[in-house]
Chain A
């Protein structure tokens, strides 16, 4: 039992297929706005319907239908103010208008859609959750007694101490509120940078990353779009330094690029395939022992693949692997919009062949 206690706000639901999948729970900061929207919607509905009933009653014959219109008005008010949530949640898969707007949904604790009985209970008991009521008239005599404010302390306290963030109504009905994310894409990072497969081919063929390393690589590749290039290098360096030591790479290699190459090798490269065609990069080796080898003439990779948001096409020659100093980030990532870091060399300086001394410069 203790193992199932999650530290974050997800809850695992075990299905009859014996699969446990996770839901993300919705906390008070999502549920309060949803509730406020619902209150507004309820009043708009009531006013609209009551006005509609009176118009119809008045148009036909107010003398005869007037009393029925008034009675219908009372019933509409009663029905909507008490059973709006129940009916919406029952027939719209656990969502009210407010919940739909905030992207949350009420479900059974077993992960099933809620039944009518449960929706009835959890919506009725909202009154108890909104207790205690603070009457403004307690503090000031002049305020009319209509201004009473439900503080919602009971529900908030219950939500804080229960693992599924349930309020009292949820506890009684056996329901919980989860985040129902609608926008989703298949998140696998694409590699457009031609340097990545090239660099990946320099890892030994029998090298397999550990499971935790694979996870780290995937998280890194998915998250790196949100980081600046300097931050990427800073984050990646901790993992790449041992790799550089182990596989004898040049010490000035871009840690971000190395991480990305390892990601490519782990997840994307077909192990049985031939070595990728290195193209114009063929002569450049990132290995330390090749640092003194003569480098063939290099005229750069076609710049067509390089897209920058600034509009100016960035010469690819800047990003040649063995150039001295720190490399800019891989060009395929969206974050190339970030300007090159100031310490990165200008295109003129990188178009020269790398000086051998550069390799040991930063070690």
Chain B
């Protein structure tokens, strides 16, 4: 076989494929590749035709005794075209509603990690709030936990009654989105290592709880103003912290508890499951930031803020429980046949894609 002649024959097609790849990498379409038969649907079918023949050339490279350099060239050409032919989904904004209102609450409802994170966060929060408030039984707890300098700073901050203006509200809303969502994302990312995530979660719970308790003491300076400030955004923000930690823990747990999958497959499946929870948490953080920016520092009467807190808690409960209640439970499943020795075992989890289920 004269390789030179063969290559010369094929090279025309390969360089045409390269030109099409160039055009598609730049604009995502074949129109600009030059020739008239590269426009529109014709160009796409020409591209796939050339791609398949390049695939065949690669498959036959050994039989043709192509030099290794040419085989490497073909590998790259096929890889490049493959990347243009098989596209992945970018973000799909049309599906975001579905993710937030269907996938996320159902995932939150059935995920044990959410329960663990909630118990850890709100349990530590309540405990440290109780201990921090009770000065007679636990003297010096608040100062030891938060530091007296910071406590004094808090008292100073809330000494005066709340009275904000637009100049104050807007930047603060922006700041809270940046700062709090950042903490949430950090908590999520560290979840894959479990310990740092739990540490951040517990640290925030204890700090916040102690400050709440300290400010709740009878003689605390600015205690009223403090509760005035935190009531409105509390439900959104505290839930969001717990949720982002839960999403992170799902990653870490997936690494250790594999449910029969290989470790990396398990991690991947769990990570994909955790993304809707993290998205829901980010939405909650944003809502909390707007509340904290606009409603909390405003001089509105306390019952408005308390009303908003109750309303937001109700919304969160509705979201988690009503939207999250597993609907698949109501769907009638056909009764399983009498098991025969030849039948397949039931699939373990419907949410795992088939190829991943057989990965082990």
Contacts and interface: CB of A to CB of B under 8 A. Distances in A.
Interface of A: 13, 15-17, 19, 21-23, 66-68, 70-75, 77-78, 81-82, 90-91, 93, 107-108, 111-118, 120-121, 124-128, 131, 154, 162, 168, 171-174, 181, 184-188, 211, 214-215, 218-219, 221-222, 266-271
A171 B91 contact: no
A168 B192 contact: yes
Contacts of A188: 3-4, 7, 67, 69-70
A67 B88 contact: no
**A-B pairs with lowest CB-CB distance, top 3:** A71-B174, A187-B69, A218-B67
Contact of A128 (B73, B89, B182, B193): B193
Contacts of B167: 66-67
Contacts of B177: 74-75, 78
A111 B7 contact: no
Contacts of A174: 268, 271
Contacts of A187: 67, 69-70, 72-73
B69 A75 contact: no
Interface stretch (B76-84, B126-134, B150-158): B76-84
Contact of B2 (A73, A117, A118, A270): A270
Contact of B192 (A115, A172, A218): A172
Given A174-B271, A188-B69, 20 more contacts: A21-B74, A72-B174, A75-B174, A82-B182, A93-B25, A108-B88, A112-B86, A113-B88, A117-B91, A117-B272, A118-B88, A121-B272, A127-B186, A127-B189, A127-B190, A128-B190, A171-B268, A186-B14, A187-B73, A218-B68
Interface in B217-255: 251
Contacts of B3: 188, 266-268
B171 A70 contact: yes
Contacts of B275: 117, 120-121
B19 interface: no
Contacts of A120: 275
Nearest to B51: A17
Contacts of A211: 62, 65
Contacts of A77: 178
What's the dominant secondary structure at chain B's contact region? helix
Given A111-B83, A171-B264, A222 B69 contact: yes
A201 to B, nearest CB: 15
Contacts of A108: 88
Interface string B54-76: 01001100100101111011111
A181 B77 CA distance: 11
28 contacts: A13-B79, A15-B78, A21-B58, A66-B167, A70-B174, A71-B171, A74-B177, A75-B178, A78-B177, A82-B182, A114-B88, A115-B89, A121-B275, A128-B191, A162-B264, A168-B192, A168-B193, A171-B264, A171-B267, A172-B192, A172-B268, A187-B70, A188-B4, A188-B70, A215-B67, A218-B68, A266-B3, A267-B67
Interface of B: 2-5, 7, 11, 14, 25, 52, 55, 58-59, 62, 65, 67-70, 72-76, 78-79, 82-83, 86-92, 166-171, 173-175, 177-178, 181-182, 185-186, 188-193, 196, 251, 264, 267-268, 270-272, 275, 278
B2 A121 contact: no
A78 B190 contact: no
Contacts of A267: 2-4, 65, 67
A128 B178 contact: no
A274 to B, nearest CB: 14
A131 B196 CA distance: 10
Nearest to B89: A115
A124 B75 contact: no
Contacts of B78: 15, 19, 21
A128 B192 contact: yes
A266 B278 CA distance: 61
Contacts of B173: 71
Nearest to A23: B79
Contacts of A184: 73, 76
Contacts of B89: 115-116
Contacts of B25: 93
Contacts of B67: 187-188, 215, 218-219, 221-222, 267
A16 B81 CA distance: 13
A78 B73 contact: no
A21 B79 contact: yes
A78 B90 contact: no
B83 A270 contact: no
Contact of B68 (A121, A173, A219): A219
Contacts of A66: 167
A214 to B, nearest CB: 5
A214 B264 CA distance: 40
Contacts of B91: 90, 116-117
Contacts of A125: 189, 192, 251
B24 to A, nearest CB: 10
A74 B185 contact: no
Given A70-B174, A78-B181, A128 B4 contact: no
A16 B171 CA distance: 52
Nearest to A163: B264
A80 to B, nearest CB: 11
B58 A121 contact: no
A107 B83 CA distance: 9
B81 to A, nearest CB: 10
A328 B59 CA distance: 39
Nearest to B272: A117
Contact of A271 (B2, B68, B88, B182): B2
